[in-house]
Amino acid sequence: MNGLRSLLEEIEVEKISEPVSTELGIVSYLRRCKGPVLFENIKGYPGYRGIGNLCYSREIIAKALRVDVDKLIEELASALDKPLRYDYTDSAPFLDNCEGNPDLKEILPLAVFHEKHKRYYTTGTIVLAREPPNGRINASFHRLMWIGGNRFAIRIVPRDLYRFYTWNRDHGMDTKVVIVCGVHPAICLAAATSYPDLNELEYARVFYDFKCIKIDGIDVPADAEFVMVGYILHDEEWEEGPFIDITGTWDKVRMQPILEVDRVYWRNDPIWHFILPGGVEHRLLMGLPQEPRIYRIVKNTVPTIRSVYLTPGGCSWLHAVISIDKRSEGEGVNAGLAALAAHPSLKLVIVVDLDINIYNPEEVEWALATRLQPDKGVHIIRGAHGSSLDPSTGKTGLTSKWIIDATLPVDANREDYRREW
């Protein structure tokens, strides 16, 4: 039950043995390294290690999930309907070390990610909470900004944890949470997934066999490297930010709730997870979990969909390419409309035929060059609500969205459009 540790023995990892500072040193390596990086000597934290760029590619994620990379989206989509129950245990390696009322910066290798704003953050932290009053477990990624002592400001977007927090706040109660860092990529990917009424830990269990231990009534993966237990306070807030988001631009400063940590647990020789803001891992963990949801919804409209890809150039969030086996006219537009509905943050959807490799931008551009007449295939939707991560939406939050149907006409002579390279 070593989780992350076992995986690090199976994948190629660049090991950094020299002392590295959490204040921009970690960031420097993560920016220039093209794969997982294991920091074996973190300044100020003897005996600690750090992992970054862990979920750096689809190939690494597929290997961690034990699935074929070509079937990754299909397998993830299928698993949404068949989550598995996990077993429980009474022991966990992280129980070996514990400190109450902690000074968080002394115990945790909090990082400064940009020279422009010196804020100490966690980025690889997953918050576990129970739906009030006594419902399912939810797991979701949240960045935490250290504000001193045992306190963070927590960025909460309006999804499940925000709903739990507001219910408790309206009832005059704090929200009990457990925060984990240093877990298997299956749990990372599940925690980044948005799907109604999903216990993300059960979703992860489809791909990874792990056990949970109950901590203050909350299910916690027993092989986590670090575990924090505390409350999101219902009556205190703090200015959180600024912070770089997946677009590579600065997210604005907001008043956010305060998270107060009662105690911290950690394994011997623990491994902390650093996620580079706006980096490949950040974008992939946000974008990849959206693709199975888009796939399912588009498939309901166009059953011959083959795959979905949120492109790196579109920040793995704003632009998508979809391949379909077109059977009738209008299916390309229908697929685009369904994708926009499935992922409201989308701004552009390009629909192509099956012979186009959607993961190859040169092939997609070739399809635009040889199969598209803009006056027929480009469809613009005005006045739609856009993504808060898109700075071009301005203060209104409104945007135009577009669908590019680059599929061939059904009656086209495909020999005329065949590539000979």
**Residue 96 above 90 pLDDT?**
yes
For residues 405 and 276, what is the distance between their CA atoms, to the nearest angstrom?
34
When mean pLDDT is compared across 310-314, 391-395, 400-404, the lowest value belongs to: 391-395
Vertex 288: Cα angle to 57 and 220 (nearest 5): 90
Which pLDDT belongs to residue 316?
94
Q: 160: helix, coil or strand? A: helix
Residue 210: partners with Cβ closer than 8 Å, 6 or more residues away = 1, 3, 86, 184, 187, 204, 221, 222, 223
Give the Cα separation of 375 and 107 in Å (integer): 60
pLDDT above 90 covers what percent of the chain?
88
CA distance 108 to 99: 11
Q: Report the CATH superfamily, name and number, of domain 289-417.
A: UbiD C-terminal domain-like (3.40.1670.10)
Residue corresponding to tokens 């011959």: 304
- How large is the average pLDDT for residues 256-262? 98
pLDDT score at 389? 84
The CB density around residue 390, as the number of other CB atoms within 10 Å, is: 17
Q: Is the pLDDT of residue 176 over 70?
A: yes
Q: Is 116 or 14 the better-scoring residue by pLDDT? A: 14
- Mean pLDDT, to the nearest integer, of 415-419? 77
CA distance 397 to 271: 39
Name the CA dihedral angle for 392, 285, 299, 403, rounded to a multiple of 10 degrees.
Answer: 20
Amino acid 215 reads: I
Mean pLDDT confidence for 321-330: 96
- Mean pLDDT score, 77-106: 96
Give the pLDDT mean for 282-296. 95
> What is the chain's length?
421
Contact between residue 396 and residue 333 where contact means Cβ atoms under 8 Å apart: no
Topology of the domain comprising 4-285: Pnp Oxidase; Chain A (2.30.110)
Q: Where are the alpha helices (DSSP H) in 121-206?
A: 160-170, 185-191, 200-205
**Confidence band for 418, pLDDT divided at 50, 70 and 90:** confident
pTM: 0.93
Dump the DSSP string for 117-139.
Answer: S---EE-SEEEEEE-TTT--EEE
pLDDT tier for residue 246 given thresholds of 50, 70 and 90: confident
Mean pLDDT value of segment 217-221:
97
What average pLDDT does the segment 132-153 reach? 95
Look at the alpha carbons of 114, 118, 119, 120 in this order and tell me if their dihedral is positive or negative: positive
Predicted pLDDT of residue 115: 85
Q: What pLDDT, on the 0 to 100 scale, is given for residue 421?
A: 67
Confidence (pLDDT) at 267: 97
- Rounded mean pLDDT, 372-386: 95
pLDDT at 106: 96
What is the average pLDDT across 6-13? 95
Q: Beta partners for 121?
A: 111, 145
pLDDT at 1: 54
Residue extents of the structural domains in the chain: 4-285, 289-417
Asked if the model's pLDDT at residue 45 lies above 80, the reply is yes
Q: Tell me the average pLDDT across 154-179.
A: 96
What mean pLDDT value characterizes the chain? Answer: 95
Selecting among 245, 251, 353, 405, the annotated active-site residue is 245
The pair of three-digit structure tokens given for residue 137, joined into one six-digit string: 């477990």
289-417 has the same fold as 4-285 = no
The tokens describing 341, both together, are 């509905």
The residue type of 181 is: C
- Whether 325 is catalytic: no
Residue 133 in this model has a pLDDT that exceeds 60: yes
Segment 137-144 shows an average pLDDT of 97
Contact assessment for residue 220 and residue 210, using Cβ atoms and an 8 Å cutoff:
no
Share of the chain above pLDDT 70, in %: 99
In this prediction, residues 351-366 reach a mean pLDDT of: 96
In the predicted structure, residue 360 carries a pLDDT above the cut 90: yes
Tell which phi-psi region holds residue 248, choosing left (phi > 0), alpha (psi between -120 and 50) or beta.
left
What value does the mean pLDDT take over residues 134-163? 95
Higher pLDDT among residues 2 and 391, named by residue: 391
The mean pLDDT of 17-25, rounded to a whole number, is: 96
**46 has a pLDDT exceeding 80:** yes
Comparing 72-76, 339-343, 408-412, which segment has the lowest mean pLDDT?
A: 408-412
What is d(CA 3, CA 146) in angstroms, rounded to the nearest whole number? Answer: 27
